[in-house]
Amino acid sequence: MFAKVFVLLAALPAVFSLTLDTPTNVTSGLVSNVTWTATDSDPTFTLELNHPSFGNSLALANNVNPTSGSPLNIEWPIVPADSGYTLSAVNITDINTVFSTSGSFSIAQAPTTGVSASVSTTFTVSSSSGVSASHRLFWLYYWHQFC
């Protein structure tokens, strides 16, 4: 009888208390915190980003220690602005074993940045004749303008 109970208990899946919080104010391409609650018995996990449009989940962080890593700063990948995203904490050796899934959240569009350029030219004029550099530049300018 004891052997049957032991086999039955061994066949039950482990129960983890890891709970991923639902992220807020997430913007594609920017950094924000991901938080969770855990106990000492929760295993190390991989954090994945899920969306119905993805063929596969995107790994955001690997080998996350649940008892010392919350909050975790995540640089969000560039993804389409949409709702329906979730996070999953999965087993590091078997991504099909999901420990916890967050609630659904939205990711805002990545900020746009303009490209600007400026050109700066610096030059130095030295003089060994005792005439100041600014005096030489004045005469050089004058000569080019009026001669």
Supply the CATH number for residue 51's domain: 2.60.40.2840
Confidence at residue 29, expressed as pLDDT on a 0 to 100 scale: 96
Confidence at residue 123, expressed as pLDDT on a 0 to 100 scale: 45
Confidence at residue 9, expressed as pLDDT on a 0 to 100 scale: 41
133 falls within a domain:
no
CA distance 143 to 147: 5
7 falls within a domain:
no
31 falls within a domain:
yes
User: Structure tokens of 141?
Assistant: 């300018």
95 falls within a domain:
yes
39 falls within a domain:
yes
Q: What's the whole-model pTM score?
A: 0.67
Confidence at residue 77, expressed as pLDDT on a 0 to 100 scale: 96
128 falls within a domain:
no
Encoded amino acid at 146, one letter: F
How many structural domains compose the chain?
1
With a cut of 50, list the residues of the chain below it in pLDDT: 2, 4-13, 117, 119-127, 135, 137-144
89 falls within a domain:
yes
Q: How far is CA 141 from CA 128, 138, 145, in A?
A: 20, 5, 6
Confidence at residue 115, expressed as pLDDT on a 0 to 100 scale: 52
The domain of 94 spans 15-108
Q: Tokens 């990545």 belong to which residue? A: 110
131 falls within a domain:
no
